[in-house]
Structure 1
């Protein structure tokens, strides 16, 4: 289908062209004006003038070639940021960080790019550098910056997980040790394990230390809220926490 393909490309091209959909049956005068003879029909307008067109559903590659002739050039740093995001997914964090540094040089006012770099630095364990970069004033990305600061604070809670796991094996009711273990997992970047440990405290004793298990989960949710990659994890454990509390 042409419509979803064009919508996907409009999203991917990020404002380099404006997509407008018109129902030919509901707009016969417009269809006649632009000489629409078959459906679907794609028209390219520039400053109100028809500059090119094609009819029918073409393969994606041909549509991309067609669009590239007319679309605006990419915004500085935009493609590099997308490339960096793809590298993060592949686990190539050093390469991703290099792309983001280059993108930030091209577009130094873009706070989203700077925070992407902070996120990658933290995944690499370069927390001192991340903290220095986070010390700036991120007025345009305040919520995400605060979430990353909260995540950086979690990283300061490193502890010996083996020792804590041994304590829990000896006494599964040691909720304090379980919460310490949750913080230790979070400091290592194992956020699923951190949430599982905190949730276990909620399940075993929701009232422990004035609801410390629930508070630990909320802290984790807040700390990870600025990164799309954790959205599914947050939703999963919000549901589990809600079920445990009801």
Structure 2
């Protein structure tokens, strides 16, 4: 990334400032990318060139999906490069993949100069914004949405996500994820159901300590289940790889099944899932 005043790196820590607040001053273009992604490397210089050329018409915020999976999940990024335009705190346009320069210019030109009156954010947009810095307030915002529309899939998924961000709220989250057509939010609903499934395993500190004391392949799978239930997915997958090293047959059954369930949570086509998928395959075939 060049040293440009119009190009910044986006993280969870500065998201509120550079994206949400920043988009009220000028449009913000978020570029979701990763170092291993060839099309991302081709798109990046075009976006950075336009950011410098426009000199303040918009701010380019580059988000490395490997380092910031939470932001990618918030925008439901399923493939990269993915580009989102945000104006006045609202997403106004997006595309996935590599665009030729003339189409990219048209995308940027459609953003305008940011001088129009800000639009009032919708209740969902307000709740999503609150999730970044105040989950308690976000939960209240989703509950207010459900008070007027109990079957609203966006509110159900949003509240379930907020609840599952802290342990012990599983009983409240379960009914939110059943009984309605989730439509565009079905993928996120399924991800949250996978978290609930993983958390069914007892995973207190005592359970973890007991599982760590046994050296067998089966014990490593049991330890992986506890780690996954606690949300430590990389450690869980490392234990699963170790179990597959010890017992290839177990690797093709219990190890593979649990790893696929973890993939549902972290994203089946996420860079992390792709990495562990290849590492498991190398041990089994």
Which bracket does the TM-score occupy, shorter chain normalised? 0.5 to 0.7
- Aligned-CA RMSD value: 3.8
Trace 1:61-210 onto structure 2 (pairs within 5 A): 63-64=113-114, 66-67=115-116, 69=117, 72-84=119-131, 86-87=132-133, 93-102=135-144, 104-105=146-147, 110-125=152-167, 126-140=169-183, 141-159=185-203, 160-168=207-215, 174-208=216-250, 210=252
Relative to structure 1, is the Cα distance of residues 215 and 77 closer, same or farther in structure 2, using a 3 angstrom cutoff? Answer: closer
Which portions of structure 1, spanning 4 or more consecutive aligned residues, are displaced by more than 6 angstroms? 40-44
User: Which residue does 1:48 correspond to in 2?
Assistant: none
The secondary structure found in structure 2 opposite 1:73 is coil
Which runs of 5 or more residues in structure 1 are unaligned? Answer: 24-39, 45-62, 169-173
Displacement of 1:210 in angstroms is: 4.5
Per-residue CA deviations over 1:140-168 (Å, capped at 9, x if unaligned) read: 13333233222211101114110110112
Trace 1:28-47 onto structure 2 (pairs within 5 A): none
Contact 1:123 1:189 (8 Å CA) reproduced: no
Whichever structure has more strand as a proportion of its residues is: 2
Q: How many residues align?
A: 194
The higher-RCO structure (CA 8 Å, 6+ apart) is: 2
Superposition TM-score, scaled by structure 2 size: 0.55
Contact 2:124 2:154 (8 Å CA) reproduced: no
Which runs of 5 or more residues in structure 2 are unaligned? Answer: 1-50, 62-83, 95-100, 103-107
